Amino acid sequence: MAISIPLKPHATARAFDESRTVVTLYDSDGEQADDGEVFNCEEEPHMLPAWITGGYFPLQPGEKLKSSGTEYEIVRKIGWGEGSSVWLASYKYSMDEVGYVALKMLTAGEPFAKGSEEDRSLKLRLVSKLNLVIHHGTAPVGSDCCVQTFESFVAGSKHGNHICLVTPPYGSSIDEFVRAGDRRILPFSPDTTKTFSRQTLLALSCIHSLGFVYTNVKASSIYMNLSDPQTTTQVLRDSPSLSYDPHMEPDISPDPMITVRSQPLTKFDSELQTMRVYLGDFEDGMLDQTAQKLATTATPLCPPDYILGHPWGTSFDVWCVGCFLLDAITGKRGKIFNLDSPAGMTHTEVHLARMEELLGPFPAAYLERCSKTREFLTRTGSLPAERERLEQAHLSGAELDRCEAFFRRCFQFDPELRVSAQDMLQDPWLAPESA
């Protein structure tokens, strides 16, 4: 998707995807260049100012960052997404021993990166709470399914200040793993889907017990376990850091622009059906009692209570789990609620119509409690029913019945009837004897 860089200060940029950024160049009068010149950035647009893209940290292998007590040296880029990039870094924990961590660098445009220590603590309150209970040995069940954060600090770049989160190095996210496999690994088997289900629900149960709503359950926030960390040095020898060819574009930067290639770590410790996975990206977790603020979930994953103006809380996450897992077991990656808009309909109207086509009509009593019901009354064409989707995933008999019942519990329209993550762990479909 294209991002325009006009010289007019009031102009805004459009959203970009997580694979390539295309920049349209403008002349000094704010008009597109006659030759239609464009600039292609292979990954995150680290060369663009914060007011356009948030301001990605322009790191290179060999650069060093210091926290209050540790110096980290960048050795490889693991990946990037909207709002952050993630880097593998080394550090010395003795004269002769080197360890590895992942550094998640949030963009400088993140408001809390510019604020006080108190502001940053508010932004990272879920991260801090998890660290506190783990450090004191009082962590709830499920904390071992959450990405651990060792420390956080602030580092500066030409774009401003960036919050840096230091974690163990994990493998690819499930989303990256699917992309790298050219989607041929989809759909996941029932056994693999159950493995991901149990661990994700355990992590959410832990988060909910600490009084937080996560709001960000998706394949790109669930990370796969690496094999023995001692193999990381060998991986770096066999597959050193790579960069794209330099770009020269004086209208953007007087210096050559070099983008480091994302190279996720892929030495996993087991087969998919027994894979350890970890829920991460906790910097946007919200306290349950203040969760009516804007959620960070992508639109296709949002439950109807958020869209229709119904009070919502931890059950928000259970709906998102259902979306992620139904994607996984059917292979309909991102297409459970297809938001292609017919003429005259907004994305939100289409989204609600798709929900009804897949799950049946909204209960009248539920709609009466929603403040925005009257805004969305349009209907559209039909979609395959939920059971048809599961049959296409090669489920049948009692396995199909239990699986359908599992998703029906996730996809309760009324959040007051949607069960908790803890209760979902007891669902018959996830019981070992149903495997």
Closest CA to 267 of 243, 221, 241, 234: 234
Q: Is there a contact between 22 and 40 (Cβ–Cβ < 8 Å)?
A: yes
Cα–Cα distance for residue pair 258/62, rounded to 1 Å: 14
- The angle that helices 190-209 and 315-330 make with each other, rounded to 10 degrees, is 170
Q: Say whether the peptide bond before residue 45 is cis (omega within 30 degrees of 0).
A: no
Closest CA to 78 of 271, 276, 260, 284: 260
Amino acid at 363: P
End-to-end CA distance of the chain: 42
Q: Angle at the Cα of 83 (from 56 to 277), degrees rounded to 5? A: 120
- Residue 342 burial class via C-beta count within 10 angstroms: exposed 0-12, middle 13-18, buried 19 and up: exposed
Tokens found for residue 13: 């940029």
Tokens found for residue 154: 């602030």
Residue 244: helix, strand or coil by DSSP? coil
Residue 30's φ and ψ, nearest 5 degrees, are 80, 15
| 104 is annotated as contributing to ligand binding | yes
Instruction: Give, in order, the Cα–Cα distances in Å from 150 to each of 3, 147, 167, 412.
Output: 35, 10, 6, 37
The Cβ of residue 162 has, within 10 Å, a number of other Cβ atoms equal to 27
Amino acid at 102: A
Helix (H) or strand (E) holding 80: strand 71-81
Residue 76: helix, strand or coil by DSSP? strand
From the annotation, which residues make up the binding site?
104
From the annotation, which residues make up the binding site for ATP?
104
